[in-house]
Amino acid sequence: MDPLKVTFLGPAASFSHQAAVETFGNSSELIPCLSFADAIASVQNQRAEYAIVPFENSTNGSVVQTLDLLVDRSGAYNDVVVCGEYYLAVHHCLLARKGLFPASQRDYSSITKLYTHPQAWGQCEEFLRKHFKGVERQDVSSTSKAGENVLRTTTEANAAIASRFAGEHYGLDILEENIEDTANNTTRFLVLRNAKSERTTQNGFESVKASSTQGQPLTVSKTKKTLTSFMVRQDAPGTLADALLIFKDFGMNLTSICTRPSQIQAWNYVFLVESETDQDKEVVMDIVKNLREVTENCRHLGTWANQLVSE
Amino acid sequence: MDPLKVTFLGPAASFSHQAAVETFGNSSELIPCLSFADAIASVQNQRAEYAIVPFENSTNGSVVQTLDLLVDRSGAYNDVVVCGEYYLAVHHCLLARKGLFPASQRDYSSITKLYTHPQAWGQCEEFLRKHFKGVERQDVSSTSKAGENVLRTTTEANAAIASRFAGEHYGLDILEENIEDTANNTTRFLVLRNAKSERTTQNGFESVKASSTQGQPLTVSKTKKTLTSFMVRQDAPGTLADALLIFKDFGMNLTSICTRPSQIQAWNYVFLVESETDQDKEVVMDIVKNLREVTENCRHLGTWANQLVSE
């Protein structure tokens, strides 16, 4: 059988690429895409079995582009559903060309330029203030691109801030690890599949994951998460509260609610509601049935095993 | 008495500046700030009576930076409350230096470069495809900055995409108006004051606005909006639904719910809930009292007159 195809937002060595490798292993065919929309469209068109996309970051919150694709206002991704999640710890490293700074003499004073994504400067402020005060900073479109730049620019002493994964991908020296200010910065990824795909139904994501983790014990999660989206009628005050009450009535715990513009009418919203339960899947179907009676365009966007290990 | 001081996110001629002028008139002292945080801090420190900040856009949704300042995790803006709102229609114009393209011969083929904020390219795609296919595009940090660039660059034929307000501010010719693809693109601004300020209490925002609109009839709004924020205990499933039910019990209609990371613990959130009622203010105090019993860090962020005229 052909290897499973998995799409993610590129370039190679991006955080999404790392999440794809850690989730699906290297026996799958991992396909970088130019946009989140391309990654999801591949699942809708069944050119790929799975897509893996960032959903939220523990510090910065929702990834709005992903929310908007899941909201799917034009119905372009009707068959795409969430079938799993993966938590990726975000760590930054200081990377340089191999051999430029031997381990015995880690003096960074000759570094004249640093590359990274604009968000990463803010995440490593303390380290940068301590070691790189006044050094030129060049913004690039991704931390992975920063690693690539350092590999290719051989005319000057420069360094990148990027992941260990990117450093290994480009064969760079990892000068320093975990240089971020805040510990526990984590991005949650969602794994998407096509609800009509026979291959992903027969060979579910949980079993793919089991084989890619090569015999490591699986986290046995007791709870399931469910994502639903709906709009409420503007002429019916109280409907949003009524809709949310349905989850409570069926014993599901609301864990988060995201609001996006409907883009049909100004100040009309689509709500994305994530909820959790330790009951079986039948409950979700009952909830969706009841939601459809009070809301508009209600969609069950998937139910999957909770992977968050409580502290 | 000194004029009222009102802070907004600069530079001059920004959309925030326009909202400040249209809300407070020119008799107030309007003060551009380098960041939203600076604008809000001025109200907390009572160096300014009011701040006006964008809260959400009808197409793009919430302004996350403003949400995070209202969430106020470090308690830096304890006394800042919302006292009003203003809806600003976002229109884009094609602007050029005075006299460069006389109205009698509107041929834009000599324009070799366009300036605007990255978001505006996307909002004017149709117009750009029709008239400026292949013309060089230069990103700048704001549409206002684009207008300034066009004014200052006299060595070439270029144009900016920015507001009429920016065009008038820089004395540019308005070659085309309303070049945006989507009609009704509107940004809602919130007006903030310090709850402890005597001057803004005595001379409320509604009366300031009445005088700045120079005798124009005021929209008499029947409903009031309220913004509250709270966290829910992680060990108490169902609490979010319980909290939202309180609004319903007191006859308040939930209009939107925003979720932001608490930044205290990963996957723990602050909820910002906006609700609406045609009842008096006492109800809000009862709701807040009840919310405090089931939630943590509950804050009443203000109650103000709804300015949205229903279609």
Interface check B285 vs A, CB under 8 A: no
Whether A259 sits inside 8 A of B59 (CB atoms) is no
pLDDT at A215: 46
- Kindly indicate the confidence band of residue B217, based on its pLDDT and cuts at 50, 70 and 90: very low
Residues from chain A that touch B35, judged by Cβ atoms under 8 A, are: none
Domain stops at, among A146, A176, A206: A176
Q: Which backbone phi and psi does A226 adopt, to 5 degrees? A: -135, 140
Whether B248 sits inside 8 A of A242 (CB atoms) is yes
Residues from chain B that touch A56, judged by Cβ atoms under 8 A, are: 261
> Looking at CA atoms only, how far is residue A297 from chain B in angstroms?
17
CB burial of residue A194 (10 Å; 0-12, 13-18, 19+): buried
User: How many CB pairs below 8 Å do chains A and B form together?
Assistant: 85
* Secondary structure (DSSP) of A56-67: EETTTEE-HHHH
| Residue A45 one-letter amino acid | N
Q: Which residues on adjacent β-strands are paired with residue B56?
A: B62, B188
Q: Are residues B191 and B139 in the same domain?
A: no
Residue B68: CATH number of its domain? 3.40.190.10
Residues from chain B that touch A263, judged by Cβ atoms under 8 A, are: 59
pLDDT at B215: 46
Whether B61 sits inside 8 A of A261 (CB atoms) is yes
Q: State pLDDT tens for residues B242-286.
A: 999 999 999 899 999 999 999 888 899 999 999 998 876 678 999
> Looking at CA atoms only, how far is residue A14 from chain B in angstroms?
22
Interface check A244 vs B, CB under 8 A: yes
Contact B296, B230 (CB under 8 A): yes
B252: closest chain A residue by CA: A238
Q: How far apart are CA B214 and CA B69, in angstroms?
A: 32
Q: Are residues A272 and A309 in the same domain?
A: yes
B60: closest chain A residue by CA: A261
Q: Are residues B56 and B11 in the same domain?
A: yes
Of B59, B258, B260, the CB nearest to A263: B59
Low-confidence ranges of chain A (pLDDT < 70): 105, 202-204, 207, 210-221, 280-281, 310-311
Interface check B214 vs A, CB under 8 A: no
Residues from chain B that touch A260, judged by Cβ atoms under 8 A, are: 61
Interface check B266 vs A, CB under 8 A: yes
B11 upstream amide cis, omega within 30 of 0: yes
B183: closest chain A residue by CA: A266
CA torsion angle B120 B124 B130 B133 (round to 10): 20
> Looking at CA atoms only, how far is residue A241 from chain B in angstroms?
6
Number of domains in chain A: 3
- Mutation pick from B234, B254, B276 vs chain A, by most beta carbons of A within 10 Å, is B254
pLDDT at residue B5 is higher than 50: yes
Domain stops at, among A119, A153, A176: A176
Q: How far apart are CA A83 and CA A23, in angstroms?
A: 13
From residue B173, give the alpha-carbon distance in Å to each of B15, B17, B49, B141: 19, 20, 35, 21
Mean pLDDT computed over B200-223: 64
- Mutation pick from A231, A233, A248, A271 vs chain B, by most beta carbons of B within 10 Å, is A248
> Looking at CA atoms only, how far is residue B291 from chain A in angstroms?
15
Domain that holds residue A130: 93-176
Q: Are residues A224 and A75 in the same domain?
A: no
> Looking at CA atoms only, how far is residue A263 from chain B in angstroms?
6
Q: Are residues A210 and A278 in the same domain?
A: no
Q: How far apart are CA B98 and CA B94, in angstroms?
A: 12
> Looking at CA atoms only, how far is residue B100 from chain A in angstroms?
36
pLDDT at A15: 95
Contact B77, B41 (CB under 8 A): yes
Helices (H), B153-266: 164-169, 198-202, 205-212, 239-249
Q: What is the ipTM of this complex?
A: 0.86
pLDDT cut 90: percent of chain B above it: 70
> Looking at CA atoms only, how far is residue A197 from chain B in angstroms?
32
> Looking at CA atoms only, how far is residue A220 from chain B in angstroms?
20
Q: Are residues B158 and B241 in the same domain?
A: no
Average per-residue pLDDT in chain B?
90
C-alpha closest to that of A43 among A84, A86, A88 = A84
Residue A273: CATH number of its domain? 3.30.70.260
Three-class DSSP category at A97? coil
Q: Are residues B115 and B154 in the same domain?
A: yes
C-alpha closest to that of A241 among B237, B230, B257, B260 = B257
Q: Are residues B204 and B269 in the same domain?
A: no
Q: Are residues B306 and B169 in the same domain?
A: no
A11 upstream amide cis, omega within 30 of 0: yes
pLDDT at A221: 64
Q: Are residues B52 and B131 in the same domain?
A: no
pLDDT at B70: 97
Domain stops at, among A147, A176, A205: A176
User: Would you tell me how many other CB atoms lie within 10 Å of the CB of residue A192?
Assistant: 31
* β-pairing verdict for B224-232 and B295-305: antiparallel
Mean pLDDT computed over B74-91: 95
Of A61, A263, A308, the CB nearest to B261: A61
Whether B59 sits inside 8 A of A261 (CB atoms) is yes
Residues from chain A that touch B269, judged by Cβ atoms under 8 A, are: 256
DSSP B169: H
pLDDT at A217: 46
Q: Which backbone phi and psi does B9 adopt, to 5 degrees? A: -75, 120
A243: closest chain B residue by CA: B241
From residue A258, give the alpha-carbon distance in Å to each of A80, A285, B260, B269, B274: 19, 21, 9, 11, 13
| Residue A124 one-letter amino acid | C
pLDDT at B210: 60
Q: Which two tokens stand for residue B222?
A: 């029947």
Q: Are residues B226 and B249 in the same domain?
A: yes
Contacts 24+ apart (CB under 8 A), A96-101: A96/A150, A96/A157, A96/A158, A96/A159, A96/A160, A96/A172, A96/A173, A96/A175, A97/A150, A97/A151, A97/A154, A97/A172, A97/A173, A98/A171, A98/A172, A98/A173, A99/A173, A100/A157, A100/A173, A101/A173, A101/A175
Interface check B248 vs A, CB under 8 A: yes
Whether A248 sits inside 8 A of B266 (CB atoms) is no
Q: How far apart are CA A110 and CA A97, in angstroms?
A: 13
Of B57, B248, B308, the CB nearest to A238: B248
pLDDT at residue B100 is higher than 90: no
pLDDT at residue B32 is higher than 50: yes
Whether A259 sits inside 8 A of B261 (CB atoms) is no
| Residue B50 one-letter amino acid | Y
Q: Are residues A209 and A266 in the same domain?
A: no
